[in-house]
Amino acid sequence: MSHLSGIWNTETKAKTYPKELMVLRRRQISRILFRKDIYLLSRELVKHCFLEEEGPFVYLSLVGNITDSDALIASLWKEYGKADARWLYLDPTIVSLEILTVVLGGFLALVLIYAIVKEKHYRHFIQITLCVCELYGGWMTFCPDWLMGSPNLNTNNWLYFWVYLVFFNGVWVLIPGLLLWQSWVELKKMHHKGFNSGKKFQ
């Protein structure tokens, strides 16, 4: 009887282990893919702050203004200025927010990428801080103009309103929102893991 039970246990383990390994592999693969997605989102924040948009805008605004600039990158802002006129001249609120985005936001984005790659303990603190800064910057960019009746925003043209203002700016609400959600999920897992391990030692 014991011999039969031994065979039964061996067969059961043989059937169970592959399933467990499959589950573990799926979890590892999903974790790697999710980590890669978060890395790519963070990298987009760096490009957003330094290379493609805010960095050149701040520089051109401080040395002159977008309207009079012949730089190639200025053509991007001249086009966007058709939707929001504040980007064509030295609007103090906009430029101040963009300086903060480039200096603080860019630095935090670089630290975040390092923390993700090296799996540092402070990763989610940096991630949450950066996302809150980005969302706050977006709110302060548009809320003052909304309160005045949107005098600088072109809301009559569907392209300028829905594509330039809503879509392009909505991306920078979506990306921080996804990163905040990811931090919420991970911190919740850590809390439950720490709570359960603490109960074992009681």
- The tokens for 117 are 């790659």
Assess if residue 158 is contained within a domain: yes
Assess if residue 65 is contained within a domain: yes
What is the tens place of the pLDDT at every residue in 43-89? 666 655 554 567 888 989 999 889 999 988 899 899 999 999 999 99
Q: Domain tally for the chain?
A: 1
Q: Which of 14-28, 50-64, 106-120, 122-136 has the lowest mean pLDDT?
A: 14-28
Domain that holds residue 86: 2-195
If one counts every other C-beta atom within 10 angstroms of the C-beta of residue 105, the result is 25
* pLDDT confidence of residue 102: 87
Assess if residue 202 is contained within a domain: no
Q: What is the mean pLDDT of residues 3-23?
A: 48
Assess if residue 201 is contained within a domain: no
**Widest pairwise Cα distance in the chain:** 92
* Residues making up the chain, counted from first to last: 202
pTM for this one? 0.73
* pLDDT confidence of residue 14: 46
Assess if residue 104 is contained within a domain: yes
Assess if residue 200 is contained within a domain: no
Assess if residue 128 is contained within a domain: yes
* pLDDT confidence of residue 202: 54
* pLDDT confidence of residue 2: 46
Alpha-carbon distance 99 to 58, whole Å?
A: 6
